[in-house]
Amino acid sequence: MSFGRARRADFLLDPQLTYLNHGTVGVTHRDVLATQRAIVEEIESNPARFLLRELADPQGDLDGEPRVRQAMVPIARFVGTDPDDTVFVDNITTAANAVLRSVPLGSHDEVLVTDLGYGGVSNAAAYVARRAGATLTTVTMPWPAVSAASYVESIAAAITSRTRLLVVDHLTATTALLLPLADIAAACHDRGVAVLADGAHVPGNVPLDIVALGVDWYAANLHKWAFAPRSCGILWCAPHRQADLHPAVISWGLDHGFTAEFDLPGTRDPSAWLAAPAGIDVLHGYGVDAVYRHNHQLAWWAAGTLSERWGTPFVTPESMIGSMVTVQLPASAGDDPRGVQQALHDQRIEVPVMARDGALWTRVSAQVYNDAADIETLADAVAAL
């Protein structure tokens, strides 16, 4: 299987666009979109039958297996979970809100987030802590990365006798670091702290076995690296935590079990959830290991190439890089991230630019439709600013 420009036709991307921003909201494969359109047409042929008698079973009334549960089987297999412990959600933020609002907190409790965490999820944690009168503490994490062990040490050092919950990224959103999540979870559990893992960027980016990580809850998006339509994510919950977990939107499944509560959160378009297995089929069609290998090698090559071209340091260990990498821009690019972003947009280059620690950085996503020429285009454009 050839990757790079040979795969651009598999997606609806503008052929004139240098697209290095797959990680933000994903890009859906043509075959998956076709599957979704077929599902929508099937729904519209008899919406009442599909949505009320086939889609979900919130109160145990259906004779057969609900469509949502059927769709979950290949997804759970891909991420290393039991389907009965895994539910669909619209996105990582929805999942995090469900968990955070279900964890009992008191005024003497503490919730930890990190300064590498996704802002929307950290805001949800701040809201829940404020409502409970609990303390929200932000852990300062090492940056730039030097060693994986330093992240475990930073979190372990921040835990106090009041800490009840840690919210931590598995693969950080803006800095694109693959954290040692299993070691972090073990350190937290040794101290009686529960762990909610934000795996928004993980399925389809790097190999994933959720259960083996030892966390209490794991939330992830499928519409980023697993080619599912938007909006589509999952939430896994350890069996001993399920009795207390409820969706942020309560509907007909209340008190009928974990999956029943999440599978039907009111009337909505379920086509993205039901088309998600087609995204997994695409990955298998390409060869999952081949996808991981191409994307990682291109991201790692981009790190070395861009830092060398721009004269900026890059010290992150390769073991902490998946299919994305964050590289510092040269001082000549200035200090206005919006200005740089617009200048790149004007040259039809799509890549995020952010300010951190007195410098500008860009996060490059490597996907099967990208190749070295895309990286060279970005390198030249930034060097010319």
The reported pLDDT for the residue numbered 146 is 83
CB 351 within 8 A of CB 284: no
The whole-number pLDDT of residue 238 equals: 98
Domain 39-281 belongs in CATH node 3.40.640.10? yes
- Percent of the chain, pLDDT > 90? 96
Start and end residues for every CATH 3.90.1150.10 domain found in the chain: 5-28+287-383
Q: Before 271, cis peptide (omega within 30)?
A: no
For 4-18, b/e burial (b = at least 16 CB within 10 A) is beebbebbebeeeeb
57: tokens are: 């079973």
**What pLDDT was estimated at residue 60?**
85
Q: Where are the alpha helices (DSSP H) in the chain?
A: 22-25, 30-45, 47-48, 67-79, 92-102, 119-132, 149-158, 181-190, 210-213, 258-263, 271-286, 288-310, 337-346, 372-383
Asked if 279 and 226 touch (Cβ cutoff 8 Å), the reply is yes
How far CA 168 is from CA of 116, 154, 171, 177, in Å, comes to: 8, 12, 9, 12
**Alpha helices, H only, 165-255:** 181-190, 210-213
The residues facing 356 across adjacent strands are 359
What CATH code would you report for 5-28+287-383? Answer: 3.90.1150.10
| CA pair distance 171, 196, nearest whole angstrom | 13
Give ranges for CATH 3.40.640.10 in the chain. 39-281
Torsion angle of C-alpha atoms 174, 178, 181, 182, degrees rounded to 10: 170
- The residues of the chain scoring below 70 in pLDDT are none
User: Residues 47-87: pLDDT tens digits?
Assistant: 999 999 999 998 888 888 999 999 999 999 999 999 999 99
SS3 364: strand
Closest CA to 55 of 246, 279, 271: 271
pLDDT of residue 63: 83
